[in-house]
Every structure is written in C-alpha cells, then in structure tokens.
C-alpha cells in the first residue's frame, strides 16, 4: 500500500484577496508536505464546472453547486498539488471544518475565517472559506487532472535531513 500521495489545494479568491497565500503555503511546507505543482489563475465558469461536478449537485443541491462555481470564478485562485505521507488526510486536518465558524483554532479556516453556513445562505452566496482540499485520494487524482497538465507536476526530492520524512 502506497502511503505517499498527492492532494489538491485551491486557495480561493478570498484567500488571494486577503493576502494569505504565503502564510497558508508556509503552513503546509512546515508540516513536511512538498509542492509538486503550483500556479495562479482566474478560472472561467466552464473550468469551475469541471471541478464542481454534477456529483456536488446530487449531494448538496444545484443551488449550492451554482454558488460554489460563482464564488471560485469570482477572482484569481492559487492551485497547488501537495505531496506527502497520507497527504489528503493531513491536509484535511490542517484545513479544518468546511464551515469556518465550526473550524477548530489552529486550523487554517479556524485561524483565518469565521463565516457560517447560515450567513452565506442569508446572503445567497457561496461559503467563503479560503481553501478547497481534496476529500479522498481518489478525488485528489481526478481533481489534480482538472487543474494541472501532467507536465506541470514535478518530481523532486526536497533537501531532507535524517530527522525528516524520506520520500
């Protein structure tokens, strides 16, 4: 069983607008995750629809899907492919609960956001929660394909010492 995996991270327009990109990337690197791919782009609606698939509409409703597509395409984002030991689970733990007001202190959402589902619903907007993180290893594989061409992903070995994780 392979324990080294990749996870997709999208730093959403609110993270970019608030100048949190460097801080968030720093947290992932400090945890020992390596960057396999990184780019900034302003997604068109059609690109966002490839990420927020019809499956989201089935699970959470078409209105939620539409709001998420509108939100993610409202400004520039930073797409990151991170790699590490059980990266998907680690990243999800670091990011915190999807609803920022419920995210624990010490998580990215818990430290930098506070919006509730109730507030977003009252304003008929998507939840501005700074970041998207893949929910499973299988999801990560498919999501990375949406945001990165194979030649945009890089294999490299960071300068680890004997006291860090070996790739």
Reported confidence tier of residue 62, pLDDT bands at 50, 70, 90: confident
Q: What is the pLDDT of residues 110-127, one digit of tens each?
A: 999 999 989 988 998 888
In whole angstroms, give the CA distance from residue 111 to residue 132.
16
Judge whether residue 147 has pLDDT over 80. Answer: yes
The structural domains of the chain, ordered by start, are 4-148 (3.30.70.141)
25-37: buried (b, 16+ CB within 10 Å) or exposed (e) per residue?
A: bebbeeeebbbbb
Q: What is the pLDDT of residues 10-21, one digit of tens each?
A: 999 999 999 999
- The residues carrying an active-site annotation are 132
Whole-model pTM above 0.85?
A: yes
Q: What is the mean pLDDT of the chain?
A: 91
């Amino acid at each position: 069983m392979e324990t080294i995996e990749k996870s997709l991270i999208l730093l959403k327009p609110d993270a970019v607008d608030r100048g949190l990109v460097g801080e968030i990337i720093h947290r992932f690197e400090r945890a020992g995750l390596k960057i396999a791919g990184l780019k900034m782009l302003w997604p068109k609606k059609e690109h966002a629809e490839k990420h927020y698939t019809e499956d989201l509409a089935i699970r959470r409703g078409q209105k939620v899907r539409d709001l998420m597509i509108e939100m993610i395409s409202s400004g520039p984002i930073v797409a990151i492919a991170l790699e590490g030991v059980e990266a998907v689970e680690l990243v999800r733990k670091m990011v915190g609960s999807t609803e920022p007001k419920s995210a624990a202190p010490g998580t990215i959402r818990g430290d930098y956001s506070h919006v509730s589902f109730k507030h977003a619903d009252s304003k008929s907007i998507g939840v501005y929660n700074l970041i998207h993180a893949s929910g499973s290893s299988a999801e990560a594989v498919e999501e990375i394909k949406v945001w990165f061409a194979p030649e945009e992903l890089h294999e490299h070995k960071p300068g680890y010492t004997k006291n860090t994780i070996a790739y």
